[in-house]
Amino acid sequence: MKVFLSSDMEGTAGVVDWDQCVGTGPEAVAGRRLLLDEVNAAIEGALAGGATEIVVNDSHSTMRNLPPGQLAGGASYISGSHKPLYMMQGLDDSFDAILFVSYHGSVGAPAGLSHTYNPRAVVEARLDGVVTGEAGINALVAAHYQVPVVLVTGDRSACAETAELLPGVRQVVVKESISRAAAHSLHPDRACALIRQGAQEAVAAAPGTAPPPLRDSVLEISVRTTDIAEAASWVRGVERIGPRELRCTGPDPLSVYRSFCAAILLTRAVAEVV
């Protein structure tokens, strides 16, 4: 059984500040250690659940946060940027299950370090009218390749938002938000134990799990400024439907995802203008 693991970072137990998520300082080093432990717990659980091959796609920030030689189970590692499929790079129809590890809530959600891809640009994202974060948007790629998302781990908002779109997905909540910059986290050992158990159960049940029901979905985005909306509308598949409102459509879920990612990349410079 072949398993794809996409790891973010802001949903990791004990991570509450951007200094733990970016850069090379001591807090970032400690944050990456916490992330590595959660990723390895998911790998170990997946192997216990029947996985025979695991591909880890580092999906956070510069996407080179994990020491390849310390990944458990001989997992292969996709790292670096730019990646055409970003947080889902490497996925295709040869996989049997997908794990989302250390994911966070969407921008506007009651979640620590909440954002949706680019916090300077995106105010809200909706799939078929349902507010979603990065997990829901990434599930479009899973829907295209017909691979089930069987597990999500992270803060409560991330898990709840994912379950709203993917009924039946196993959830492992490792922290509760107090504010956008504070959280009540499980002890890392406890968080890893729950992730290990959740991954084992999720992968074992993967053969009976349906792919995401998002084959004909429409992705709508509210952005911060009219300039961002204008620039995003230059992307094929992105329509401006209001002063700061966009709609991404396409012949298949992968096309919708690609249009969204292209719009995010194109608007980065505009979004950073004060």
Tell me the catalytic residues.
115
Residue with tokens 């995010």: 264
Amino acid at 154: G
CA 270-83-41 angle, 5° bins: 115
Q: Do 109 and 156 touch, CB atoms closer than 8 A? A: no
What residues contact residue 233 under an 8 Å CB cut-off, 6+ apart?
A: 239, 240, 246
Q: Which two tokens stand for residue 192?
A: 């890893």
Distance of alpha carbon 146 from alpha carbon 159, whole angstroms: 21
Distance of alpha carbon 154 from alpha carbon 183, whole angstroms: 12
Amino acid at 147: V
Distance of alpha carbon 127 from alpha carbon 185, whole angstroms: 29
Nearest to 141 by CA among 82, 96, 93, 83: 93
Q: Which two tokens stand for residue 79?
A: 């790292």
Number of helices and strands in the chain (H, E): 6, 12
Q: Do 246 and 232 touch, CB atoms closer than 8 A? A: yes
What residues contact residue 24 under an 8 Å CB cut-off, 6+ apart?
A: none
**How many other CB atoms are there within 10 angstroms of residue 242's CB atom?**
12
